[in-house]
């Protein structure tokens, strides 16, 4: 048995704070060949995840809010918002299932948030995700403004 305890979450918070991407994941599965891929993803509010989809390895993805408040945004192929779901740990809607090929992103709405992600394995890192051509690149000068515009959709 492995616990997801306060010590682990504090470590992830520290690692995410020191990461240029302002997030940190932690694999709960042993190997990329495992039939079920499970990971924690710690996000600070200023972490931008470029909208993307999974077409090279098309599998459903389940996202569960363990801590904090997040927004899941789904887009059409041109970048128009087609669905907004607020994920709140402990109440409201705590989880969402992303269909294969669906353009999406997650934004932290609270100061920090922790997401549990699950997906069928095996996992091929080379086919992990396809970034949206219409979205701002991670690390670009206009990424913080784009992230704020996405967060504002939940105001």
| Structure confidence at residue 59 as a pLDDT band (50, 70, 90) | very high
Query: Is 124's pLDDT higher than 90?
Result: no
- 107/93: higher pLDDT: 107
Could you report the per-residue pLDDT of 79-102, keeping only the tens digit for each?
A: 999 999 999 999 888 999 999 999
Do 125 and 87 contact (CB within 8 A), yes or no? no
Do 120 and 37 contact (CB within 8 A), yes or no? yes
Could you report the per-residue pLDDT of 8-43, keeping only the tens digit for each?
A: 999 999 999 999 999 999 999 999 899 999 999 999
CATH code assigned to 6-152: 2.60.120.10
Quote the DSSP letter at residue 124: -
Neighbours of 80 (CB within 10 A): 9
- Residue 108 has, within 13 A of its CA and on its CB side, a CA count of 22
**Cα angle: 50, vertex 54, 60; to 5 degrees:** 115
User: What percentage of the chain reaches a pLDDT higher than 90?
Assistant: 86
- Mean predicted confidence (pLDDT) in 62-70: 97
The whole-number pLDDT of residue 126 equals: 77
pTM of the entire predicted model? 0.94
Here the tokens at position 155 are: 């105001």
Query: Is 127's pLDDT higher than 80?
Result: no
- Contact residues for 39 (Cβ-Cβ < 8 A; gap 6+): 25, 26, 27, 28, 29, 116, 117
The whole-number pLDDT of residue 92 equals: 87
Here the tokens at position 22 are: 């302002």
The whole-number pLDDT of residue 1 equals: 60
User: What contacts 24+ positions apart, CB below 8 Å, involve 92-95?
Assistant: 94/64, 94/65, 95/62, 95/63, 95/64, 95/65
Query: Is 128's pLDDT higher than 90?
Result: no
């Amino acid at each position: 048995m492995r616990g997801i305890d306060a010590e682990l979450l504090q470590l992830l918070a520290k690692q995410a704070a020191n990461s240029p991407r302002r997030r940190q994941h932690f694999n709960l599965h042993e190997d990329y060949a495992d039939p079920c891929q499970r990971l924690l993803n710690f996000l600070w509010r200023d972490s931008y995840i470029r909208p993307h989809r999974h077409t090279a390895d098309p599998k459903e993805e389940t996202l569960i809010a363990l801590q904090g408040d997040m927004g899941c945004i789904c887009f059409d192929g041109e970048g128009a918002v087609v669905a907004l779901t607020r994920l709140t740990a402990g109440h409201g809607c705590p989880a969402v299932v992303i269909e294969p090929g669906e353009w999406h992103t997650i934004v932290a709405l609270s100061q920090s948030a922790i997401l549990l992600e699950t997906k069928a394995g095996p996992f091929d890192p080379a086919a992990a995700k396809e970034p949206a051509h219409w979205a701002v690149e991670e690390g670009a000068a206009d990424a913080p403004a784009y992230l704020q515009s996405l967060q504002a959709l939940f105001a």
